[in-house]
Amino acid sequence: AKDYELRQYETAKWVSTVIRGETQKEAMRQGFWKLFHYLQGKNEKEMKIDMTVPVTCLIKSGCTDFKISFFMPFEHQDSPPQPTDSDVFIEERKAAAIFVRSFGGFASPEKYAEEAEVLARILRNRGQPFHEDFFYTAGYDSPFKLFNRHNEVWYFKK
């Protein structure tokens, strides 16, 4: 479809942290730095790991906990170094079919919510079953990239 796509993601490991009781914007900031420090060597092997994209944020309806995650680079998928920060953890996300809506510009929490609502409306109108109680935001660009930015919202197919 021109307004969204359906992707199949394989099982993969992500490094994640949960930030509680902050705004989404503040949770993203705090979570990003916790995960960035992990990549910079705050792990059991004191290993530097390349930054990957996307950076995702799990948004659950009516919940003020935000799970921020970085994709673990392919060369570390089998045995990622364990975090030394107790707030950071490695998670394995199972293979899944995901509905994706892409958009440009600088994405604010409001813009992500708006795009997620548009995607949800399209999926409902087309009779596509999906998990409506949560969605992920996915950002692909450094804050220093000014043009041709790429952002996404993800709903998991039922």
Q: What is the pLDDT of residue 122?
A: 97
Q: What tokens does 154 get?
A: 């993800």
Total domains, the chain = 1
Q: Measured between alpha carbons, how far is 6 from 22 in angstroms, rounded to an integer? A: 31
- Name the pairing type of β-strands 12-20 and 5-9: unpaired
- What residues contact 100, with CB distance under 8 A and at least 6 apart? 4, 5, 6, 7, 138, 152, 153, 154
Give, rounded to a whole angstrom, the gap between the first and last alpha carbons of the chain: 18
Residues 41-74: tens digit of each pLDDT: 999 999 999 999 999 999 999 899 999 999 999 9
Looking up residue 38, the CATH number of its domain turns out to be 3.20.80.10
Nearest to 136 by CA among 89, 51, 71, 80: 71
Q: What is the pLDDT of residue 24?
A: 94
Q: What is the pLDDT of residue 143?
A: 81
The vertex-146 CA angle with 143 and 149, nearest 5°, equals 80
pLDDT mean by block of 10 residues, the chain; 158 residues: 93 98 94 97 97 95 94 97 98 98 96 98 97 97 91 98
Give the domain extent around 71.
5-156
Q: What is the pLDDT of residue 144?
A: 86
Phi first, then psi, for residue 76 (nearest 5°) are -110, 5
Q: What is the pLDDT of residue 130?
A: 98
